[in-house]
Amino acid sequence: DARVTQTPRDKVTEMGQEVTMRCQPILGHNTVFWYRQTMMQGLELLAYFRNRAPLDDSGMPKDRFSAEMPDATLATLKIQPSEPRDSAVYFCASGLLTGAAGELFFGEGSRLTVL
């Protein structure tokens, strides 16, 4: 049963520390997204990649967030330095998108708490 895998599931860290979240997309999917979910804002798009190339990272605070896809089986989201306002659940999603068609499949999320 193919699924998107995210690690860690839960992370508690102190302000100023570096945090790296990892995602293994579904094999064969050509597009990978990073979303952040909070009670106040709901699901917000941070960045996405098509065929490993970054297409849009306008949703990310550029000074502290970075997203990469070093190979087809791994996407990473890094926060350095982390701040309490970064506390949220971070979701990775992948899809086989052709034009406008294609649904996204989400991982279970990484819950980040920054103290």
Partner 1 sequence: EDQVTQSPEALRLQEGESSSLNCSYTVSGLRGLFWYRQDPGKGPEFLFTLYSAGEEKEKERLKATLTKKESFLHITAPKPEDSATYLCAVRYTGFQKLVFGTGTRLLVSP
Binding interface with partner 1 (CB under 8 A): 4, 31, 33, 35, 42-43, 45, 48, 50, 55-56, 91, 93, 97, 99-101, 103-109
Rounded to the nearest 5°, which phi and psi values hold at 98?
Answer: -125, 110
Nearer to partner 1, 35 or 82 (CB): 35
Q: Taking the mean position of all CA atoms in its chain, how far away is CA 26?
A: 14
Of 94, 67, 92, 91, the closest CA to residue 79 belongs to: 67
Local structure of 4: helix, strand or coil = coil
* Residue 81 vs 96, nearer CB to partner 1: 96
Whichever of 14 and 56 has its CB closer to partner 1, that residue is: 56
Q: How far apart are CA 52 and CA 104, in angstroms?
A: 16
In angstroms, what is the minimal distance from the CB of 16 to partner 1?
A: 28
Q: How far is the CB of 20 from partner 1 (least distance, A)?
A: 19
Q: How far is it between the farthest Cα atoms of the chain? A: 41
Compute the least distance from the CB of residue 49 to partner 1, in Å.
10
Cβ proximity to partner 1: between 74 and 97 the closer is 97
Least Å distance, CB 57 to partner 1, is: 11
Is residue 25 within 8 Å of residue 92, measured between CB atoms? yes
